[in-house]
A and B are shown apart, each in its own frame.
Chain A
Amino acid sequence: MTDCYVYDTVRTPRGRGKKDGALHEVTALELASQALKALRDRNQLDTSKVDDVILGCVDPVGEQGSNIARIAVLDADYADSVAGVQINRFCASGLEACNMAAGQIMSGQSDMAIGGGVESMSRVGMGASGGAWSTDPQVAFKSYFTPQGIGADLIATLDGFSRDDVDAYAVESQKRAANAWAKGYFKNSVVPVKDILGQTMLDRDEHMRPDATMQSLASLKAAFEQLGDFAGFDAVAQQRYPQVEKLNHVHHAGNSSGIVDGAAAVLFGTKEAGDALGLKPRARVKGFASIGSEPCIMLTGPALVTEKLLKRAGMTKDDIDLFELNEAFASVVLRFMKVLGISHDKTNVNGGAIAMGHPLGATGAMILGTVLDELERRDQETALITLCVGAGMGTATIIERV
């Protein structure tokens, strides 16, 4: 098997995913283009050497539709020979795109490829691409469809995480993100989004609430309580988990991932391809995996895929220096750490999506860059990146510095 190396990681800052967000007036295509251009320009990349660009996008309709990866290749003035494909593994799309790019290289079918993702949640609403899972009675019934927030609350209920537990986690995420920004831990990967006049539109994650406290979060109303009751989703969850007398609704906007806009891109290649272009490898892709998990609770995939991947890689959790798990909801991370017996000291050390937001299609590629930057800063070796995934899945990647 050919070794696959990570040469560079870039991401845009994350703009608040609302009409008044700083990136709302930027098209999704432009976000993807700017990430690709940054990757090219920082590395003086001869783009004709890139075989494929794989971008994750979760709602690929409208301006994000058809195949935004190939269109972004054209828009970013890459060589015509660079192919492009958009993929969708829901929330893990960005990481899955990286895994597929790495897979092309490891299998010897490409020499250089880009993985990444884009999502303008302010411009193309979450769920805009529809889908059969919740609507088609045939599958919704048998798989006990419930929205993710109900799944997150179900995890809290089953694992006994209280409102205080999840809020405390959220406060810590905000603190860590603020600290990392203040100390410039993200500066290596973050490239500001600029307008056509060259003026900076956004150079920092816009969603953060560093002043969040237990008190301020306590005032927020549980977000999924009404939905669970009024639309019957609590009952659906109870039919799947009949040991639950009543769902404990603990999640709200303050301890769930933020809705934001953003894009990311990661450059992968063989040693030879990098050498030929004068690039210095930063890390090697040790392995990757995806897994399916019970779809009603939906968000328990990270621990399962981590176990699967560690086993495949012949490693144990103790071989991993840093864990980066997307903070879809606080309970997802709390469960992950509880099930695997991992300390918070090693997990999401610079905060995560609760503080900075989760641009669905891009996040996986973003956090790969974040944790690689942190490995370098700490001079540590190995990191595992994972995300929980809609419809009950998990995706994970292990990287090690070279």
Chain B
Amino acid sequence: MELKNFKWDQDADGIVTLVWDVPGRSMNVLTSTAIGELAQVTEKVVSDSTIKGLVITSGKTNGFCAGAALDEMEGNASSTGGKTASPQDALAARYNGVMQFHHVLRKLETCGKPVAAAINGLALGGGLEVTLACHYRVVADNPKIQLGLPEAKVGLLPGGGGTQRLPRLVGAMQALPLILQGQSVDPQKALALKLVHAVVPLNDVVTAAKNWIKGTPDSVQPWDKKEFKIPGGGPFSTGGSQVFTMGNSMLRKESYGNYPAQRFIMSCVYEGIQVPIDAGLRIEARYFVKLLQEPASRNMIRSLFLSMQDLGKGARRPQSEPRTEVKTLGVLGAGVMGGGIAYVSAAAGIDVVLVDATIEKANAGRDHAAQTIDKQIEKGRSTPEKKAEILGRIHPTADFADLKNVDFIIEAVFEDRAVKAEVTKKTEAVIGATTIFGSNTSTLPITGLAEASIRPESFIGVHFFSPVDRMGLVEIILGKKTGSHALAVAIDFVQKIRKTPIVVNDSRGFYTSRCFGTYTREGMAMLAEGIHPAMIENVGRMSGMPMGSLEVMDSVGVDTALKVTRQTKKDLGITGDDPAEDFLSWIVEKANRPGRKTGKGFYDYDAKGKRLRLWPELLAYKGGQWRTDADVGEMKERFLTIQALEAARCFEEGVITDPRDADVGAILGWGFAPFTGGPVSYIDTIGAAAFVARCDAFAARFGERFKPNALLRDMAAKGETFYSRFAPQKQAA
């Protein structure tokens, strides 16, 4: 027996300790070779009569196992199972592959000898599933240890028996939320759930496991016993039918039916717990393989896991630049954005000099950070000690001279060229000659702002999203003259504050604001077509967007939307009737409803800003003769198509160059329908030719804005995808 992933050690009592320790990786992941080795181990345990029991633990200090190797899985999903195989044979091959793993774990849990998992660190996904096939689980008493099945978060389902063993252990009612939402639990919670048998100090986990084997271990799984019943009952027990009936409705409420993984998980549990475990595992394997056929899963794995990981690791960082570290940050402007940036930076261990016109204003920025932490303390996610520590790193001041020694500047003052130019000059007068100047702007082109700088090569756009503490994306914008050192510093900084950077080139609205703007404009176009406002809002959410388009406009400001509409038309020389503009003008200028900030926009709001109802006069407009017969599927397509088309235009104009930036930036930045994998995955999945045909048809019916660009037509002609034509350079640092 030759083991690469595991170390084998049999003690005098005949107990084998199997130490999982994948070479060359900081964390154990479950690979097909590891599964093969587990099979060999089981054979040996069964056949060698000197072996009394088995303890599985990890040789890594930071965890037991982080789960299956998703890169292996993505390859598996997109492989065709060999060139000659028919699609049906390919499916069968994949199904058999999944069943192989089930057979290994079934052999392990029915080997007749006691098997214990000594969980000394996090066990997620496939890692936890291996422990569920053990007869006994003991976990180290460290609240940071996470135990869970996070597959659903990237559009997958636990394919290693998780949907079968977890409900059999803790009942469907407890298991479903854990699997559907991919939540993990800490050791004490796991103990309360009866997911693990014992919690002991870290150094005792292996001893505790061995002691269990030396005692009177039960080497038969509960579900392999004759008298076994699912805790809480099956789907047709009194409580069980509620679990599934309401589980189905809640899931539709939250997922809008857009996420096949969650639906399949429900089916795995519903169908699986009504039959013996082996049949349940076959059911799970079928759904798992079926799910890998779904574009949603493949796209979600790519964007939400692989690409996000690549970008987070600095895939877009210039290789030639030496690594930098920001220890002290200067933030200009202590408003909501500045305060938020100061907070996330201080929380990442960076000292922050927070400058505003007066010390009072500067202090307000620190108070903003304090409020953010207070909310976290309320939720048990922070402590007063941490608060003091973080606030201690924020130094409010009204004196630009205090910026003298900072490593990096982020300007977050009012969105006004003159104001920005002034603080740029004041700052450059004090900071070091090579210190990089970042500007947090969501709309003003960086190249123009850099004109105020005496060293435009060190001037870069760093676009944060609001609320800064919760939004995981930073859009880095290169001005015409921005140098590679500036980019390296900005990316290193974004990594340090644990956010995901994307890199785009300069343009009006850059990438994110520009594309997102098309969503709200499409909503306005629908309104102008007479489609019922409630329908526009509901279908917007059903398309996968986090908010309805009118709701977005209220929160951005309907007055701002009107201003932008008029400015854009002026810039582009558009004249003539515009029902959308008429609507905006009516709402802002006649009805004086500029948006949520005044409690009145497309919606009415209460004093706390809670959305109450659509403005009744809007519903009564023109006698309330709104259309409700619009095709829902087509409305969804319009919402997503117009945004994806704008992303394609950004590619053609060179605003964006890497499909990973486009997809991850869209999902993290403006909540573009995550199940699509992002706007360019959306186009790739539909196919450029079909997408172009759709755009042409929409252009004819709904307006020129849907006219596909030359790039898309070229891709359609050549049968290209964004991920092939603009193949990301695999240059991860």
Contact = CB atoms under 8 A, between A and B. Distances in A.
A236 to B, nearest CB: 5
A242 B542 contact: yes
Interface stretch (B210-218, B246-254, B431-439): B246-254
Contacts of B248: 134-135, 137, 140-141, 145
A135 B236 contact: yes
A239 B270 contact: no
B256 A245 contact: no
Contact of A245 (B241, B246, B247, B614): B614
Given A135-B241, A136-B270, 9 more contacts: A134-B245, A135-B235, A135-B245, A135-B270, A136-B267, A140-B244, A144-B252, A231-B250, A243-B628
B252 A232 contact: yes
Q: Which 7 A-B pairs have the closest CB atoms?
A: A232-B253, A242-B538, A245-B534, A137-B266, A235-B253, A243-B628, A135-B244
Contacts of B537: 245
19 contacts: A135-B270, A136-B270, A137-B263, A137-B266, A137-B270, A145-B248, A145-B249, A232-B249, A232-B254, A236-B253, A239-B256, A239-B257, A242-B538, A242-B542, A243-B535, A243-B538, A245-B533, A245-B538, A245-B619
Interface string A104-140: 0000000000000000000000010010001111101
Contacts of A243: 532, 534-535, 538, 626, 628
A2 interface: no
Interface in A231-251: 231-233, 235-236, 238-239, 242-246
B640 interface: no
A363 interface: no
B244 A134 contact: yes
B196 interface: no
A141 B257 CA distance: 7
B534 A242 contact: yes
A146 interface: yes
A246 B619 CA distance: 13
Nearest to B257: A141
B498 interface: no
B675 to A, nearest CB: 14
A233 B249 CA distance: 6
B342 to A, nearest CB: 38
Nearest to B240: A135
Interface in B255-271: 256-257, 263, 266-267, 270
A246 B241 contact: no
Interface in A54-105: none
Interface of A: 127, 130, 134-138, 140-141, 144-146, 231-233, 235-236, 238-239, 242-246
A141 B534 contact: no
A142 to B, nearest CB: 8
Most buried by A among B249, B251, B256, B266: B249
Given A242-B535, A242-B542, A242-B632, A137 B249 contact: no
A225 to B, nearest CB: 15
Contacts of A136: 235, 244, 267, 270
Interface in B606-652: 613-614, 619, 626, 628, 632
B270 A245 contact: no
Contact of B246 (A144, A231, A238): A231
Contacts of B580: none
Contacts of B244: 134-137, 140
The interface residues of chain B, by DSSP majority, are classed as helix
Nearest to A125: B238
Contact of B241 (A134, A231, A233, A242): A134
A338 to B, nearest CB: 17
B68 interface: no
The interface residues of chain A, by DSSP majority, are classed as loop
Contacts of B250: 231-232
Contacts of A236: 249, 252-253
Contacts of A141: 248, 251-252, 257, 263
A140 B245 contact: yes
Contacts of A145: 245, 248-249
Contacts of A232: 246, 249-250, 252-254
A183 B266 CA distance: 56
A241 to B, nearest CB: 8
B539 interface: yes
A243 B537 CA distance: 9
A391 to B, nearest CB: 14
Nearest to B539: A242
Contacts of B263: 137, 141
Nearest to B264: A137
A115 B309 CA distance: 68
Contacts of B247: 137
Nearest to B536: A242
Most buried by B among A231, A238, A243: A243
B511 to A, nearest CB: 30
A39 B267 CA distance: 48
A306 to B, nearest CB: 24
A244 B263 CA distance: 25
Contact of B538 (A127, A130, A135, A238): A238
B249 A231 contact: yes
Contacts of B235: 135-136
Contacts of B614: 245
Contacts of A238: 538
Nearest to A138: B267
B380 to A, nearest CB: 25
A141 B247 CA distance: 11
A131 to B, nearest CB: 9
A236 B542 CA distance: 11
Nearest to B235: A135
Contacts of B534: 242-245
Contacts of B251: 137, 141
Nearest to A144: B252
A298 to B, nearest CB: 14
A135 B257 CA distance: 16
A190 B101 CA distance: 66
Contacts of B257: 141, 239
Most buried by B among A127, A135, A231: A135
B501 to A, nearest CB: 35
A358 B594 CA distance: 52
Contacts of B246: 231-232
Contacts of A137: 244, 247-248, 251, 263, 266-267, 270
A310 to B, nearest CB: 26
Contacts of B252: 141, 144, 232, 235-236, 239
Contacts of B539: 242
B473 to A, nearest CB: 28
B249 A239 contact: no
A296 to B, nearest CB: 11
A254 B538 CA distance: 32
Contacts of B533: 245
A239 B236 contact: no
A138 B537 CA distance: 27
B714 to A, nearest CB: 36
A185 to B, nearest CB: 41
Given A137-B244, A141-B257, A233-B249, A239 B267 contact: no
A399 to B, nearest CB: 37
A245 to B, nearest CB: 4
A141 B258 CA distance: 11
A136 B251 CA distance: 13
A27 B267 CA distance: 37
A222 B555 CA distance: 33
Most buried by B among A235, A244, A246: A235
A141 B256 CA distance: 10
